[in-house]
Structure 1
């Protein structure tokens, strides 16, 4: 199978449609050639969705799509060249020739406009001719044109019904009771209440709904029970007819909407009904409202909806959401044994049962996966058959239409194209990995996976957040943790990781065991995480990879958590010399003593992570020629003596995490980097202050200082940082938050931790009174009083005060904090006593309180 071809084509067409790119083409005299390429690609793109779907039954289509993907990748590489050249000219105009031009002077087209245009025109023409040749073949496959909006071809799943024998249900007793409690609750003033069961495909939502539907308490409590399998086609007329028919009314194919609604309202009037809408995909709120308006019954009527998507639930109606979790291991094993053996037969094969326990672990609590693998092993008693199932990825096993992998694949097919590539990218991380929102977004950004329209002024980071939340709402992520209001983390279910690996194959390659390298020859993104490999073996492997590589990860984990690979100079030099299209290079916890000046030749590089390097003392000045670099992570590089002097030339840098031994930063440096969104100083033991001019960082959204023990003052002019939302200050022993300093005026989060010099919060922080939502103060042993203006923080939702032993009282007027929803006091004995005296006040009724 060849996946993601449509997504790659869409990305390309979107980029060449931008105003900046069209201007560049016009100035270079290559507009006509580019228009021809866009037309050819658009003609091919029109049939790609149909081709991706039909390739399951046509091997020739898979080969054709693979050839197209190779050409599309080549076209994307040419676009990269344009972006790099545009930016290079901008930097030359602003700062003069870059260092790299001196090194690269033998390359005529690298800085000669006419030479560059000629070279690009020649490449574009070659790509267009390749596509035109491939386009001739499309007639052989009888493909239909289809837009993404038309891609919701309704694939009817096997219709569900309302009955399940009690004996068929294993586990889920607690889930059943919670749902029944919600259904038996009299509800609010609304005559109809809606309850949702949400979870990934195969988790048992339908089985649970069936079990609830047939419970005697439900049968007794409701006058009418109705079951409708909705699936993908949410037609109001069709569903209204189904409900009417199930409720005992007459229904015919030719009934008009008006007649259906009149009959339905008549039959449901004065009845307390219970309706199950199973397997709902509809996200159109207007369609739901159109249906719900027909369902008028007695107060206490209930509608139970099963869906894979939180977004469906939030769009349809307010109501309780029961998030269904995986089955416990014990219940999964019981289900597996039932599917794999005849009754009682398992007792004869204890070794097979032991292997079965390991097979069940692959399923991570998903009953349909357990049934699928158990059924594959039914009647098989040879150990080798069981071991084969145990050791193979689920997506490589033969499956029927209603088995687990097709069920999960349906969720993927429903994703918009821009999310499919982002989901595939997640396969580069190992199973059970905890993803962090900002880090994953920066990796997506580095690879051009975030889609921004010409007219949009949204930040790329915000677009990334929207992508993550959409994947979360569709149940692609789980185990979400909010990490202190700065970021959030999450995991991916193992089965969804399998699905990600399946759709990503050939493009994205995760190597955890060098004995199982799969197909990596055409991969453009790779993670090498088998740290048993030596440097020489790794270098030999790198030489086998495509020189079009875009992503290389050598580590994801913090030092000490796992054995780290010996990432040395020769390994990095191999990456630099072979992979000129690299966009992301992750060298966390490397053993480099120097970073080669040749790093500057990676002109496409967007992301460079050197976190945790304990040896490197200086970055080469040539690193400043990386004008496309968006993310530079130097956290924990404790031996770096100074930052490069021309760092301002890194005009695209958005995320900068710094560790340095400098007392003062070079002038005309960081303060001259207008693209910065995130600036954090970590373990800078000698840093005393920040240069004047921070007010130029008008796009900065987060500013942080942690373990900067010599820092005596915050930067001047922060009131001009109108985009600054997060200020994080931790363990800065000498720092005094002085009165009279220009503090930010639009903060949403303020984190103050470990400031022994802090006696009171300065008045200037009141400037964010209308925007501050989260305030954390901890380990400030000399903080004796909270400010009188604290109750003026009209937007404050969460207040945490930890280990501030001298604090004895809350300020007067806390009842004015009408937005406050959580007050967390820890290690402040006197403050807790003061709260207990104030607890009867009205302001406390809406607030969740936590104490040590």
Structure 2
């Protein structure tokens, strides 16, 4: 929080009191004014709540923040109730009159509650004293001067009551007390240590021993000091002086305090407990000398997580803490969660569950106590629970129904990955619910009562593959920001989606059926949309209307991400020629993307690409497109002319099976540009200078072509420059492509990553001056890889038996800049890479080399350190068996492909 924000909050604190003094509003008529005041209160205090995100360890400040947060939640809940009562869309007039009459009493109740909340806020700020206001200002100072906030150390006290129980604790205490009182004539002051991981009970054991009557009787002076990780030497010495019954008289320096400690403990039999020690220097550099004057039998007991510290402090005895046995853990859990005999009896009925909790805690006392405390808090605040997370659970339907009845203040409900098939109608009572996620569950329907959740902002139905419809009244969810229906089986969406004016994200809008549901036109009303995906565009012909010439998305100026999915193949086998024509018109016109779109995805899109993609003015129609995905547009004979998109950075084309050639049209250049236009230009007067060559794909950084199974030729543009900023090229399953275009080699001077997989017909990769990383895998007929002067990383993936050797071109070139060679191959290739193998001579010159076979076998080699590491056993019989297995696996794979 900056100073201006802090000043505004403090000003509000004063202003609210002035408003309270001069204004008293009627309980009924004044509710709207008090609502406004409460909203102002919430906004003002939001900045204060940001303190929770800071490391504030002052308990008073944290308690104050927690109390403030509770009141603000109550206030927000009350505003929810007010909104729910005030507004019911589409309500009949007669019913509205009746509700207004009945709401008089509601207004009185709400008015009183609001005034009470405002009063509670005042009390929280001042707590009926001016002193606490200084604490509030201290809270602000933590934000204004965070560098001045001191690190507050962990503090323990021997007088704090312990929750620990069990036979193990008693046995450990007896053994430790025996060591503490054991005579050692060799020295007066002896160090003992308790060692164990954090939370295992070191401090608890030390307290039990420290407070035992026999120990008190055995030592004249007992002192308890908590050291912690960051300690002050002077504070530590002052605490010892005070614990020994002395007074430090205001001494501030170590040189003054050390003699005081020595005077107090000289000739005195003492027990000093140093709890939570993090370094041996506390003994060697600070305490050893002042304590040496203690009487015979004096002891220093140290608790530490590090056994090495105990050894450095020359501890005569080290007690290593053990994890709690299950029964002791259960006793500790019971003690933490029960307060009376009746609770203890009830707890015994849940022992099986409790023992599972103890087991999950691994016998660690701190974990058991933390879980116990959490259970207590949940019990005390059951009605105030605001988040319920049920993920990946089975058989929880009844528990969820009970929760929906009781947890009336829920704001967040997660039911992801559960086997729940329906939700109780009680969910309609959760008027404070903001977030509902039932994604990837078995749910088949949603109750109509869900439409009562007027404060709901997120409804996540993603992956509910059994869900076929959603309630008709969904248009009443006026505060909805996200509706995600991706990967569901919805046939349609109800009418009225266009009334959800705050919707930012609509995933899985389903084109309506012949019977009609939500029409496409309703999308035009969603002016706040940032993300939209439309499914089942194969039904688009149902939406086509004569005379439609504008896009329903024309006014969606905030839309950034648009995804259009056809799913059904538009062929004459499925639709008549007239239907296909109407569909394409809808796709050409009605779903024309607005110019604001940044990411566009077309999936299974018709027999041809949309007309707006072929437009000569595509650069002005789609000026902001940075990411474009064309997925399984199986019937497009040519790729659309995309080269003039001014902002395009990422282009992915998948499964364009009908494309055999990528030519100049892809770059946005007419084929005639090299023929007719050239002849026409030659007839221009000599004084006329030709226009400068165009820059095509000017910002493209990544190009990916996947599953282009019939592409044989990739031509470049005859004129101009293209893909000058291309950084990464991915070609996956393009089996017929025979060569990479020369223009790519000449012009893509920023290309650093080349990733090729199953580009079977490609014979050579050469001449790329900037490529640093090259990956090849799958079937390949590569014969030449050369003239790659910047190559640093080479990744080879070889799975077929016919390629059971490293490629020959690897030996033909020097690859002087190569830093690392990684190979994924067969076990037979691995054997050839052993130091006595056939391929070792070509491998040993590379700085780093690694190979694995997918069966757990590997070789790692580092040249400069002469490191060769492998787990491969060079055994002929073993290799013969493995070779037979690999051959069988390859044959099965080939059959599966066929």
Larger radius of gyration: 2
Q: TM-score, normalised by structure 1?
A: 0.47
Flag the structure with more relative contact order, 1 or 2, with Cα contacts below 8 A and sequence separation at least 6. Answer: 1
Scaled by the length of structure 2, the TM-score of the pair is: 0.45
